[in-house]
Amino acid sequence: MAKIIDGRKIAKEINESLKAKVEDFIKKHEITPKLAVVIAGEDPASLFYVKMIAKSCERASIGFEKYSLPSETTEEELLKLIDNLNKNKKVSGIIVQVPLPEHINQERIQESVDPSKDVDCFNPINMGRLALGKPEFLPCTPYAVYELMKRENIVVEGKHTVIVGRSNIVGRPMSLILLQKKQYANATLTICHSRTNDLSYFTRQADILIAAVGKPEIIKRDMVKEGVVIIDVGTNEVEGKLVGDVAYNEVLDKVSVITPVPGGVGPITNVMLMQNTLRAAGKLVN
């Protein structure tokens, strides 16, 4: 019978420990770690996500500031705001919510965030450090997957781990984390993507399958082997309901471990963002 991982329970456990650390930090340094979130425009999904971040900050006793800009904001205006936040010693971490308006160069904006405050780990310097195995921060969603596997004591070392998806947000950094020489890593990796021929050939070989391609229920029952561990990172809306990249009900009796959508990786992701914010705050006072 498959073990269904309760991401909400894990997130709550991590947050309880994190909140205690934050409160100790505040007592010791008389400074409250603070996350600044910049959003340009009125994208509904972005607005919803920012609300979720605000709630996560409140639960962890971390300060929160939102900077809402109109969609016609110029790139130079946005860069100036980020420069001010970089220099603001009361701000521990900075997130620039994407997508940005089309006239703004997203890469240039992400590169402008001080690497020591880049708690989303989008700055190329932080991605480079991760590639070298010396990360300042871990990107939040891959960090959530790693923490989940660690807490569930999923053996990763030497296992054939297939990642479906190569985005800079999940797939690519996930591969870098699992290649590191440490516990709950040291995986043997295959990365698949939209140009992979015969996807099922690779997914059927997976001991651990991480689905992060953003296509609803693309992973079917006949694409996985008996006893596989499935981590479903996908979040897709279909007919008003959230579904993952894996056909959950189809594969449930075939897998050993699986994360549901919703309620799997998602709840842990924002807690990892809070972890990064506390880490950034610690670097500011040292």
User: Residue 79 belongs to what domain range?
Assistant: 30-114
The structure tokens 């296509």 sit at: 215
User: What is the domain-level CATH number for residue 76?
Assistant: 3.40.50.10860
CB 246 within 8 A of CB 234: yes
Element (H, E) at 231: strand 229-232
**Percentage of residues of the chain with pLDDT beyond 70:** 100
Q: Is 230 domain-assigned?
A: yes
Same domain (yes/no): 145, 247: yes
Residues 95 and 182 in one domain: no
* Domain identity same for 88 and 178: no
Q: Is 128 domain-assigned?
A: no
Counted domains in the chain: 2
The reply to whether 86 and 150 lie within a common domain is: no
Q: 239: left (phi > 0), else alpha (psi -120 to 50), else beta?
A: left
62 falls within a domain? yes
Q: What pLDDT, on a 0 to 100 scale, did the predictor assign at position 216?
A: 97
Is 37 part of a structural domain of the chain?
yes
Distance CA(170)–CA(138), nearest Å, equals 11
How, if at all, do strands 241-243 and 257-258 pair?
Answer: unpaired
- pLDDT of 68 above 90: yes
Read off the pTM: 0.95
d(CA 213, CA 192): 9
Kindly state whether residues 169 and 220 are assigned to the same domain: yes
277 part of a folded domain: no
Mean pLDDT score across all residues of the chain = 97
Length of the chain: 286
Q: To 10 degrees, the CA torsion angle through 69, 70, 74, 75?
A: 50
For tokens 């620039």, what's the residue? 96
Say whether both 72 and 110 belong to one domain: yes
CA distance 138 to 178: 12
- Domain co-membership, 164 together with 54: no
Rg of the chain over Cα atoms, rounded to whole angstroms, equals 19
Residue 123 has pLDDT above 90, yes or no: yes
Question: Does 237 or 278 have the greater pLDDT score?
Answer: 278
Banded model confidence at residue 230, pLDDT cuts 50, 70, 90: very high
Statement to judge: residues 70 and 154 lie in one domain: no
pLDDT tens across 185-228, in order? Answer: 999 999 999 899 999 999 999 999 999 999 999 999 999 999 99
Give the pair of three-digit tokens for residue 145. Answer: 């997957």
- Note whether residue 8 is domain-resident: no
200 located within any domain: yes
pLDDT(286) > 90: no
Residues 107 and 144 in one domain: no
Tell whether the model's pLDDT for residue 249 goes beyond 90: yes
In a shared domain, residues 145 and 217: yes
Pick from 157, 159, 174, 145: nearest CA to 207: 159
Alpha carbon distances (Å) from 112 to 2, 106, 130, 152, 220: 45, 10, 18, 37, 41
Q: Is 257 helix (H, G, I), strand (E, B) or coil?
A: strand
Same domain, 52 and 162: no
Q: How remote is the C-alpha of 108 from its chain's centroid? A: 21
For the stretch 139-170, pLDDT in tens is 999 999 999 999 999 999 999 999 999 999 99
Distance CA 155, CA 93 (A): 32
Q: What is the pLDDT of residue 1?
A: 83
Evaluate whether residue 25 is within a structural domain: no
| pLDDT higher than 90, residue 112 | yes
Write the CATH number for 156: 3.40.50.720
For residues 96 and 40, membership in a common domain is answered with yes
Q: What is the DSSP letter of 59?
A: H
Q: Which amino acid is at 151?
A: R
Mean pLDDT, residues 18-42: 97
